[in-house]
Amino acid sequence: MALDLATVSEAEADELLGRCEIATIYCVGGMTYVDGCESTPELARRINCEGPAILAAAAAKQGARFIYFSTDYVFNGRSGPYVEGAPADPICAYGRSKWQGELAVQDAHPAALVIRSTTVYGPDPNRRNFLYSLRKGLAGTQPFRVPSDQIATPTYNVDLAAAVVALTESGARGVFHVAGPDVVSRLEFARRAAAVMGLDAANLSGVSTAELAQIAARPLRGGLLTGKLAASLPRLRMRGIEDGVSDWMGTTTFTESNS
């Protein structure tokens, strides 16, 4: 049985979890297309807030753990990187739907674990994160435009997964930031990733967010601080850009059609 976060009902969620022995639910689904959320905010709210809350409530009834994934877009991007307790102040529909989702999930399942991450990159069978776009863009002849004024903490998805599993196994609850150690602009991230890939970054073009004329507002100085994570999992290592991209290169096969 498949569940659609946009349409799932309480009865559907209860029925599925009632007949399956599920100890932990990682709610990784969501509407992450930022401009799409801005154009269809009600859909974003259903997928990022209402659906996960229904699933969290069903998990609570069954005594199952529930992990919800959120973002640094819950902040306004004026004073990042942020700690967990910084006041939320989302400036776009995506950020609002995720912040509402955090609150609704924790209300439905008080022992839920909320993971905030940002600028996630790494192995992806669908080749849809920034590294794949960067590699393809730098192989072309046209300028590859990257925001020079959006600051974040790029996160290697292999490390993100390991951290979330470790937090879950430790019984952690509440909000945790899981992100990489580097505080950089998207442009600097692109340059450093290109260097690891051995690609010529000459056609990288740094532009302001305003020049991109995107539908949704972006938090400019974002990113996440991870002191709480480090205190909880002192042996955990979140890799920086060079190590993360290098590991990705070693686990990914490229062909002419996708390089």
Dihedral sign computed on CA atoms, order 124, 136, 259, 222: negative
Among 68, 73, 94, 156, which one carries the catalytic annotation? 94
**Element spanning 93, H or E:** helix 93-108
The C-alpha torsion from 62 through 67 and 68 to 71, rounded to 10°, is 170
Q: How far apart are CA 221 and CA 171, in angstroms?
A: 32
Closest CA relative to residue 24, chosen from 70, 71, 56, 69: 56
Burial 224-243 (b: 16+ CB within 10 A, else e): bbbebbeeebeeeebbbbeb
Q: Which tokens go with 64?
A: 């199952």
Residue 121 annotated to the active site: no
Q: Which residues are catalytic?
A: 94
